[in-house]
Amino acid sequence: MRETGAGRWSLALAVLVVLAAFVMPRIVATPQAALAATPRVSSADDPVARGRAIIVTSACGYCHGGDANPASPDWLQGMKTQLNEFKIGPCALKPDAMPCFHTRPRNLTPDNLTGMGRFSERQIFNALRYGLRPEDTPDVEITSSTPGVGNFPEHPHYLAPPMPWPSWRQKPDQDLWAIAAYLKRGLKPVRNKVPDSEGPPDFWASEYTVEKIGPYPVPAFPTANERMPVAQAGSPPK
């Protein structure tokens, strides 16, 4: 994808601009009392509680509704006005620049018609781990992360940005299953039809390559950019 009359546009830059303009000011504006009341993971044996804590502390509500407050009447119900849309592409920096895609936060409640109710917890897990749109992906265990290898779709339909699945995929399985459990079992269904997000014909496949978003899983520590910590006086023995 190229910007007319200019060089290649950066998806990563466009997403960062959108997040900086829309999400970060709302996080900063969150009342301190709400932040102080942020729940901690209560038990590894309670995936719904664990998923709730992860979602609240990971700013999901700043896009999908309700900010960091599960008591909000908009909690995770998705876009309700055009003010909640994102512009992805050069238009994130220059309004008339092309290409320009409007992406819209989904309704994450388990409503069967307009939310996540029609998808299994496995499909939600696959969306978080591999970035695959649940409506376009079978309810199966994915055996690869490379298009066309194993049962990974040869032409994958990825979630639209700015959904940060490239970083979320690095979370432990337990965390991703907990998120899926909370979305399916810990929320009340709410009817809110969100128009589908726009995107390029390849469903972002040319942007979500290993060269651009890095590998899964991450390389072993230490990489060429890292070093093993040097033992210091007073440090506990290894």
Task: Please write the tens of the pLDDT for every residue from 63-95.
Answer: 999 999 999 999 999 999 999 999 999 999 999
Q: Which residue has the tokens 């309670």?
A: 46
Phi, psi of 68 (to 5 degrees): -110, 25
Interval 209-237: pLDDT, tens: 999 999 999 999 999 999 999 886 566 65
Tell me how crowded residue 102 is: count the other CB atoms within 10 A of its CB.
Answer: 16
Cα dihedral 227→232→234→235 (10° resolution): 10
Q: Are 109 and 190 a contacting pair, CB within 8 Å? A: yes
In three-state form (DSSP H/G/I as H, E/B as E, the rest C), the secondary structure along 201-234 is CCCCCCCCCHHHHCCCCCCCCCCCCCCCCCCCCC
Structural domain includes residue 4: no
Maximum Cα–Cα distance across the chain? 61
Q: Which residue has the tokens 């290894």?
A: 238
Q: What per-residue confidence (pLDDT) applies to 43?
A: 53
Half-sphere exposure of 85 (CA within 13 A, CB side): 16
Structural domain includes residue 97: yes
Q: Are 64 and 76 a contacting pair, CB within 8 Å? A: yes
Structural domain includes residue 98: yes
CA 12, CA 129: separation in Å to the nearest integer?
A: 19
Q: Are 76 and 106 a contacting pair, CB within 8 Å? A: no
Structural domain includes residue 177: yes
Instruction: List beta partners, residue 87.
Output: 102
The share of the chain scoring above pLDDT 70, in percent, equals 79
Q: What per-residue confidence (pLDDT) applies to 153?
A: 97
Structural domain includes residue 135: yes
**Residue 71 lies in domain:** 11-213
Structural domain includes residue 229: no
- The list of the chain residues with pLDDT below 70 reads 1-44, 232-238
Structural domain total, the chain: 1
Structural domain includes residue 115: yes
CA 121, CA 84: separation in Å to the nearest integer?
A: 26
Q: What per-residue confidence (pLDDT) applies to 188?
A: 98
Structural domain includes residue 182: yes
Give 158's DSSP letter: B
Classify residue 105 as exposed, middle or buried by CB count within 10 Å of its CB (0-12, 13-18, 19+).
buried
